[in-house]
């Protein structure tokens, strides 16, 4: 995207952070942090949700090859259940930033909240469409989580995780009711909690 802003006029090493997976009923919430290299730009960056799966895969590889530093981190379903999804998301973002092997001068975070990190940090609403580093992070996070769902699908094909990616579609809810709640599910999420209660299992 040609209209993505670049904050390097002020900061020479800027990290972008984004997360994927707040809405699904199963699996980790995934965050990524990226410091792009101005000398090795990646064309075509935009909000990961607006890209095809094939294009995301290509861009994710280019980002990993060309970025000055990148990091992907997660918060587990158990952490989501313990902390709640917002705090677990902040934890995953913090882990992603701290996983960078370079120290960012400034961190742009997608959304309206910032994780507790020891750097200059700023939230940018709809940042994945405005800041190249956030766009890159959104792509890495999305590809990583999709790969997790494909791997889980290989283990439990009856749940069709590769199709719905863990989101609460009518088909997914029907399959959970039919086959039960796996350990990978977020037990604190209302649809899962209701199914556990209906089946007499501990929430």
Give the integer Cα–Cα distance in Å for 54 and 147: 13
Give the integer Cα–Cα distance in Å for 39 and 70: 16
Give the integer Cα–Cα distance in Å for 40 and 87: 34
Give the model's confidence band at 199: pLDDT under 50 very low, under 70 low, under 90 confident, else very high: confident
Give the integer Cα–Cα distance in Å for 104 and 197: 46
Neighbours of 49 (CB within 10 A): 12
What's residue 7's pLDDT? 52
Give the integer Cα–Cα distance in Å for 197 and 201: 6
Q: With respect to residue 195, please indicate whether it lies within any of the assigned structural domains.
A: yes
Residues 130 and 30 in one domain: yes
Give the integer Cα–Cα distance in Å for 69 and 101: 6
* Averaged pLDDT score across all residues of the chain: 93
The model's pLDDT over 1-56, given as tens digits with 9 standing for 90+, comes to 445 655 544 556 999 999 999 999 999 999 999 999 999 999 999 878 889 999 99
What's residue 4's pLDDT? 60
What's residue 1's pLDDT? 40
Residues 149 and 161 in one domain: no
Residues 180 and 94 in one domain: no
What's residue 49's pLDDT? 84
202: pLDDT strictly greater than 80: no
Domain with residue 26: its CATH number is: 3.30.420.10
Domain assignment of residue 86, given as a range: 7-153
DSSP 35: E
What's residue 151's pLDDT? 98
Residue bearing the bigger pLDDT, 166 or 7: 166
The model's pLDDT over 60-111, given as tens digits with 9 standing for 90+, comes to 999 999 999 999 999 999 999 999 999 999 999 999 999 999 999 999 999 9
Q: With respect to residue 1, please indicate whether it lies within any of the assigned structural domains.
A: no
Closest CA to 134 of 56, 38, 31: 31
Residues 114 and 184 in one domain: no
pTM: 0.92
Both structure tokens of 77: 């379903």
Give the integer Cα–Cα distance in Å for 83 and 186: 12
Both structure tokens of 111: 């959304």
Q: E strands, the chain, where? A: 14-20, 29-35, 69-75, 106-110, 121-124
């Amino acid at each position: 995207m040609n209209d993505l802003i670049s904050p390097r006029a002020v900061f020479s090493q800027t990290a972008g952070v984004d997360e994927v997976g707040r809405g699904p009923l199963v699996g980790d919430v995934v965050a990524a942090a990226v410091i792009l290299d101005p000398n090795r730009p990646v064309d075509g960056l935009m909000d990961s949700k607006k890209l095809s799966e094939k294009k995301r895969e290509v861009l994710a590889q280019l980002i990993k090859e060309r970025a000055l530093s990148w990091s992907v981190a997660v918060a587990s379903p158990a952490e989501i259940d313990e902390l709640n999804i917002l705090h677990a998301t902040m934890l995953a973002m913090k882990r992603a930033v701290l996983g960078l092997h370079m120290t960012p001068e400034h961190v742009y975070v997608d959304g309206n909240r910032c994780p507790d990190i020891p750097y200059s940090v700023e939230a940018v609403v709809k940042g994945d469409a405005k800041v190249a580093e956030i766009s890159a992070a959104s792509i890495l996070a999305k590809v990583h989580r999709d790969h997790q769902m494909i791997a889980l699908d290989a283990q439990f094909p009856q749940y069709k995780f590769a199709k719905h990616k863990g989101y609460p579609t009518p088909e997914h809810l029907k399959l959970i009711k039919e086959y039960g709640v796996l350990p990978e599910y977020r037990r604190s999420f209302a649809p899962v909690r209701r199914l556990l209660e209906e089946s007499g299992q501990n929430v």
